[in-house]
A and B are shown apart, each in its own frame.
Chain A
Amino acid sequence: MKLLIIEDEKGLRDNITSYFNDDGNICESCVDLAGATDKLSNYDYDCVLLDIGLPDGEGFVILDFLKKHMKNEAVIIISARNSLDDKIKGLNIGADDYLTKPFHLAELKARVASVYRRKAANSNNNLVFNEITINLPGRAVEINNIPLVLTRKEYDMLLYFIANKGKVIAKNAIAEHLWGDEMDMHDNFDFIYTHIKNLRKKLLDAKCTDYLKSIYGIGYKFKAQ
């Protein structure tokens, strides 16, 4: 996947780049509107991560630019502004998703994967990871071609883990993904342990490799192999 990161904050830009690059993606980045329009006029990308507050203007300009030039990049807005108006405006003029800062890199990766799959919308609606096959429109999971019944939360969790395979994901990132960040859980994320335990047990019972690994105190990792 080829990504363009338009973000003026260097620390954030570097971390996003390194997080995505590990997975074999190609990430390019720029810091302002001028650089972004320059890159977008010359190259095609699969996905654009767009900050709204840029030094030389509002990121919405990029959405207009893409529309005007009939470009098909998926766009995820990453903004510090959690304003309903901005969200609606962004989604109305062509953004595919809106993520409010601060966010977890795992969340960003899951969103990118999701909009990329939606944009790609090719004949292949299946997400395949080794012996796990996920039929995305039908929300059905098969392990070695044997159907596996998962609850909604377990399904979401599996999708989230596969999108972030090979990465350590913090407990609070998982909780926020599944329950939303507006649910104030007072930093007590122990209850997700039960859910992960259940998912792992179901996968193991279906003779799936044990991908899920608990990392002491901090979270979980879905092994890439």
Chain B
Amino acid sequence: MKLSAHYNKANIIITLSVLFAGAVIYFFAINYIAKNQLDRNLIEEIDGVKDYIKLNQQLPKQVDFDEDQVIFVKTDRQNLQRRFFDTIYNNPKERKKEAGRAVSCLISLNGNNYETTIIVSREDTEYLVQIIGFITLILSIGLLLILFLTNRYILTGLWKSFYATLNEIKAFNVSDTKNFRLKQSKVDEFSELNKAVHIMSSRVKNDFQHLKQFTENASHEMLTPLAVITSKLDTLIQDETLKNYQFDQINDIYAAAGRLARLNQSLLLLVKIENNLIEDAEQINLDILISEKLKQFHELIFSMNIQVEKNLQNKQVLASKYLMDILFNNLFSNAIRHNTKNGKLIITLTDDKLIFQNSGGSTPLNPDKVFERFQKGNKSEGTGLGLALVKNICTLNNWTISYYYDNILHTFQIAL
């Protein structure tokens, strides 16, 4: 939910409950005041009746009371507490029953006690309450509407610069050379945010440049000693008096040095791809490239007597030739390395799919882990970066790669 929606929700709930509580209190207060007023009027009426009786020594007639109803009931009781109560008032003019308020008390005349009840209509006060209630309702609705519109339009306007900043952050690319574009905001918090983001982005870019420099330098520093090792070995083997077991040792050193060099190159490449630093996209015919690679790997395939089956449709993609070379080198060497003697390699290329299937170990690999760095089978002599490279190249091109084990074939499928 958006911030403005959250805010609106809270705002409306609070406003509604305050308004509701207010309305309830208002209702009871007005009722109470109106009732008091009525009761005071009734006391005056009673006093009027008493004065009349004192003056005229007889009960007043109904006509003397305008529309108020007066009932005298002769009673034997000597004591009756004056009491007020709600009752029904019969409107003689409109001939209908209305809510009424009554008072009853004991009045004595000529030694007789009369229970006197005066009823007045409550219509007018109820009408007042209704009017007030109606006005309150209208005001509440108006207030809610105005609050809603204010939140909607003014808040959205205020947040505009925030969304502009957000979009800039989303589009932020650490390897981009161009700087963060800052939009001035009238809101202090947002200008501060912009400033902070600006400072952060330049610092990140700076760090990234340093890191890049560092990686390059580190690679340089590591490859030079490796070059020394290799050249020393190349010189060492010129000595033909070396024993066979010494040659075996040298072979192992060669292998380790080679692996280290490949590891280093792969790591550098991985960093480069992740930072999208290779941009030399061109149209590439995948079917032609695959056929070329098959030729390149022919000797390896032949030496393991692997049966190759290829179903290639014409398919063009826009990608870096350099990265495509690496992609296929890794896919092929993977499919050959983990294959068995007299095994199988099936390559399928359709308009939207590229599938490499190879025979090999009888246990499926873990599809979640197979593309992670340094995940390799215990018998693998590789760097453990090959499939991570493949995955990264696919991601860079917005392709998805998946692994599954299907009918004794290890399958790598790329959705182009």
Interface residue ranges, A against B (CB under 8 Å):
9, 11-12, 15-16, 18-19, 53, 78, 80-84, 100-106, 153, 167-168, 170, 172-173, 179-188, 190-192, 194-195, 215-219, 221
Contact = CB atoms under 8 A, between A and B. Distances in A.
A181 B229 CA distance: 17
B300 A191 contact: yes
Contact of A12 (B231, B238, B255): B231
B227 A18 contact: no
A126 B234 CA distance: 29
Contact of A218 (B216, B250, B325, B333): B250
A119 to B, nearest CB: 24
Given A105-B235, A170-B237, A182-B326, A218 B251 contact: yes
Given A183-B333, A217-B244, A81 B228 contact: no
B231 A80 contact: no
B360 interface: no
Q: Which of A184, A187, A217, A221 has the most CB of B within 10 A?
A: A184
Nearest to B385: A184
A215 B297 CA distance: 26
A67 to B, nearest CB: 25
Contact of A103 (B227, B238, B278, B330): B227
B329 A182 contact: yes
Given A9-B224, A170-B237, A182-B326, A102 B280 contact: no
Interface in B265-313: 265, 268, 278, 280, 296-297, 299-300, 302-303
A187 B255 CA distance: 6
Contact of A105 (B219, B231, B244, B337): B231
B265 A219 contact: no
B373 to A, nearest CB: 16
A168 B333 contact: no
Given A101-B227, A172-B258, A217-B247, A187 B381 contact: yes
Residue from A15, A153, A192 with most neighbouring chain B CB atoms (10 Å): A15
Nearest to B265: A82
How big is chain B's contact interface, by range? 35 or more
Contacts of B229: 102
A12 B228 CA distance: 5
Given A168-B238, A184-B330, 12 more contacts: A12-B228, A80-B223, A81-B219, A102-B229, A102-B261, A104-B231, A106-B234, A172-B258, A183-B329, A186-B337, A215-B247, A219-B237
Contact of B216 (A81, A168, A180): A81
A21 to B, nearest CB: 11
Contact of B231 (A11, A53, A186): A11
Nearest to A108: B231
B300 A82 contact: no
A215 B254 CA distance: 15
A146 B86 CA distance: 136
7 contacts: A11-B232, A12-B228, A104-B234, A170-B233, A179-B296, A182-B329, A219-B237
B230 A104 contact: yes
B60 interface: no
Nearest to A182: B329
A181 B228 CA distance: 18
A90 to B, nearest CB: 15
Interface string B323-337: 001100110010001
Contacts of B234: 15, 19, 104-106, 170, 173
A184 B382 contact: yes
A15 B228 contact: yes
B219 A80 contact: yes
A186 B263 CA distance: 12
A107 to B, nearest CB: 9
A179 B219 contact: no
B220 A53 contact: yes
Contacts of A188: 381
Contact of A84 (B232, B262, B265, B278): B278
Given A105-B231, A170-B233, A191-B300, A184 B333 contact: yes
B297 A15 contact: no
Nearest to A191: B303
A219 to B, nearest CB: 7
Given A15-B232, A216-B244, A218-B237, A102 B329 contact: no
Contact of A191 (B240, B265, B299): B299
B100 interface: no
B224 A186 contact: no
B271 to A, nearest CB: 12
B322 interface: yes
Nearest to B320: A84
A220 B220 CA distance: 31
